[in-house]
Chain A
Amino acid sequence: SMAAEGEKKPVLEMVQADGADDGCVTFVMHEEDHTLGNSLRYMIMKNPEVDFCGYTITHPSETKINFRIQTRGNIPATEAFRQGLTDLSEACQHVLNTFQARVNEFKETQGQPTE
């Protein structure tokens, strides 16, 4: 388990079957749901080294998801996981930059927002 023991709430745990290679890992992501689960799954599926990626919400009253990655064997699942998070974050940064540029342009051409 990757989570710090003791008082700190776990953020991320990695679960693997005994004897499984490091290409197959279930990441337990705490305090997450479809919001990150589905968008991150899309990003990781875009990686040609990934064979399978999917997630489940364990139970409606538990605030965590089981996020499963199986790679084709050339890279460890952790690397695909890390790459997906990085790609998603970069995409968001571009969405944010574009959004702010368009909003500023709109405000300049329309004047300040009115009632």
Chain B
Amino acid sequence: MAAAMKNVEEIRSRVILGEFGVKNAHTTDFPGNYPGYDDTWNLGKFQKNFRINVVQLKENSMEFDMVGVDPAIANAFRRILLAEVPTMAIEKVFIYNNTSIVQDEVLAHRLGLIPIRADPRLFEYRNSAAEEGSEIDTIQLQLKVKCSRNPRASKDSSDPRELYLHHMVYSRDLKWMPIGNQADVFADAFIGPVHDDILIAQLRPGQELDIVMHCVKGIGEKVAKVVNSRLDTCSREVLRHDDLKNLVKLGRIRDHFIFTVESTGILPPDVLVAEAIQVLMSKCQRFLSELDSSDMD
């Protein structure tokens, strides 16, 4: 009986790494599954068992342990961090002139991938029907570059860096054009590209770019990378040795997660995680208020 109980405890709390597969991969601690266990959801019990331990916190990355939470919920946070935390990104590109060899659509796509430093919490979502952006939902950037010959270049030089001026267009050339009161409101915010050395295009004398971009709030862009690893590579090497494989048992604790979050630099990683948790809460709230409003009909 005691052995059976120990086995049950293992099924509930461990994921077993076998030689040819993973055992007990699914959560089974639901009411009715195990006699003698109260598996009904209990917030007090959850609060008592749940803990977080911050291991590292840097400007653009952090690592922490989250213990006492089901994989379904931990995975929801991970998924939101990867795909659903809002950011400001270049959405509309107005090309007034582009005589470079980069085609308009390729150029627009390249611009759309540049991470923009601007706190999305300070902006509203832009109404998709709205033609014109306003100060509360849009950041306007300008890229205006013209390449010319360098009059001071030596005659026999063949180095483009010496021969031409402004022939390399970098993300640092994107200039912020404040709308309305933005210049005052965001005076200390350093709105612009996160990285200033992203090469956008190369020009030759006479070629020019004249582009205006609108950045809007959206959830399309990747803001973070999350990986679960800390020296734990989940190695099953020991199971390849016949003399050892029957002597060891490899298990992983089901409710212990190691989060490593790398930010693209727009928001600090701890803010991203907090935002992700709030996104999941607002998803719940969205359906709760829908239930409430339909009850009144």
Q: Footprint of B on A, CB under 8 Å?
A: 2, 11-12, 29, 32, 34-36, 38-43, 45-48, 78, 81-82, 85-96, 98-100, 102-103, 105-107, 110, 113-115
B30 contacts A by Cβ under 8 Å: yes
Contact with A along B31-69 (1 / 0, CB 8 A): 110000001110100110011111001110000101001
The CA-CA distance from A110 to B277 in the complex, in Å, is 24
B92 at the A interface (CB under 8 A): no
**B82, closest chain A residue (CB):** A35
Chosen A-B contacts, 6 in total, with CB atoms closer than 8 Å, are: A34-B79, A35-B79, A47-B40, A88-B280, A95-B66, A99-B52
| Stretch from B144-152, B162-170, B281-289 forming part of the interface with A | B281-289
Stretch from B115-123, B153-161, B200-208, B267-275 that touches the partner: B267-275
Chain B contacts of A29 at CB under 8 A?
Answer: 287
* B291 and A103 contact, CB distance less than 8 A: no
Say what secondary structure dominates the interface of chain B.
helix
Q: Would you call A89 and B290 a contact (CB within 8 A)?
A: no
Q: Mark B60-85, 1 if CB is under 8 A from A, else 0.
A: 00001010011011011101100010
Is B99 part of the contact surface with A, judged by Cβ < 8 Å? Answer: no
* B294 proximal to A (CB < 8 A): yes
Please measure, in the bound complex, the distance between the C-alpha atom of A5 and the C-alpha atom of B281, giving whole angstroms: 26
Cβ-closest chain A residue relative to B78:
A35
Question: What residues of B have a CB within 8 angstroms of the CB of A12 in the complex?
Answer: 287, 290-291, 294
Taking a contact as CB atoms under 8 Å apart, the answer to whether A36 and B50 are in contact is no
**A73–chain B nearest beta-carbon distance, Å:** 15
B residues sitting closer than 8 Å to A (CB atoms) are 27, 30-32, 39-41, 43, 46-47, 50-54, 57-59, 64, 66, 69-70, 72-73, 75-77, 79-80, 84, 268, 270, 273-274, 277-278, 280-281, 283-288, 290-291, 294
B40→A39 contact, CB < 8 A:
no
Q: Are A87 and B280 neighbours in the complex by a CB distance under 8 Å?
A: no
- Least distance between B180 CB and chain A CB atoms (Å): 29
Q: Which 10 pairs from chain A and chain B are nearest by CB?
A: A46-B41, A48-B31, A42-B72, A89-B284, A106-B54, A39-B76, A2-B294, A85-B284, A96-B277, A92-B281
Decide yes or no: A35 and B57 within 8 Å by CB, A11-B287, A47-B31 being known contacts.
Answer: no
Could you say which residues of chain B place their CB within 8 Å of the CB of A115?
58-59
Chain A residues with Cβ below 8 Å from B281 are 89, 92-93, 96
Q: A107 with B57: in contact, given A35-B76, A41-B72, A95-B50 (CB under 8 Å)?
A: yes
A42 nearest CB neighbor, chain B only: B72
One of B72, B274, B285 near A89 (C-beta < 8 A)? B285
B59 touches A114 (CB 8 A): yes
Residues of B within 8 A of A40 (CB): 284
Residues of A within 8 A of B52 (CB): 95, 98-99, 102
CA distance A95 to B273 in the complex (A): 10
Most buried by B among A36, A47, A91, A93: A91
Contacts of A107 in B (CB 8 A): 57
B83 to chain A, nearest CB (A): 8
